[in-house]
Amino acid sequence: MLSNNALVVVADGHQAVLFRNTAKHGIELQESERLSPKHLQDESQGRQPEETTPKDEDEATFAKQLVEKLNTMVLQHKVDELAIVADPSTLGNMRKHYHKELEARLVKEVAKNLANADGQQIADTLKG
């Protein structure tokens, strides 16, 4: 079960929605922020292997930039508990960049594309 004020990140390779759990008991999600590639800047973009397509590279870059933002939030003590829901490809790219402090606060990962789902669908998935 997620604690009150836990951060829930729902992402795919093109966007991310950040929610906070507002329930004292259970899960009730309130959207706090929407992120797209234009919201995340990365001065040190790593190159992907030659065989990746531009689309794959964009998705990997977005995943890396998203995790850098999450790492910063964790290190600034803005996140006590974290759940991540992302399509399998994005989740795989994100895992490569987790800081050890983020890993310590990560209570749930779900490899599923719920980027267009509403808060109730996401809450139901996290309960399952």
Written as one letter, the residue type at 31 is E
**Mean pLDDT calculated for residue range 100-125:** 96
Greater confidence, 128 or 103? 103
Per-residue pLDDT reduced to its tens digit, 76-111:
999 999 999 999 999 999 999 999 999 999 999 999
Greater confidence, 37 or 9? 9
Can you tell me the distance from the alpha carbon of 117 to that of 123, in angstroms, rounded to the nearest whole number?
A: 10
**pLDDT for the residue 94:** 97
HSE at residue 28, side-chain half, CA atoms within 13 A, is 6
Residue 70 structure tokens: 């999450």
Asked whether 10 and 125 are in contact (CB, 8 A), the reply is: no
**pLDDT for the residue 72:** 97
Per-residue pLDDT reduced to its tens digit, 20-73:
999 999 999 999 999 998 878 644 445 445 566 777 788 899 999 999 999 999
Radius of gyration of the chain (CA): 14
Q: pTM of the entire structure?
A: 0.89
Specify if 2 maps to a domain: no
Strand locations in the chain (E):
7-11, 16-21, 29-35, 82-86, 106-111
Specify if 67 maps to a domain: yes
**pLDDT for the residue 43:** 42
- The distance in angstroms from the start CA to the end CA of the chain is 10
Whichever domain contains 39, its CATH number is: 3.30.420.60
Q: What total of structural domains would you count in the chain? A: 1
Specify if 90 maps to a domain: yes
What domain range includes position 38?
7-127
**pLDDT for the residue 123:** 95
The CA distances from residue 34 to 10, 26, 50, 65, 120, in Å, are 10, 23, 31, 14, 17
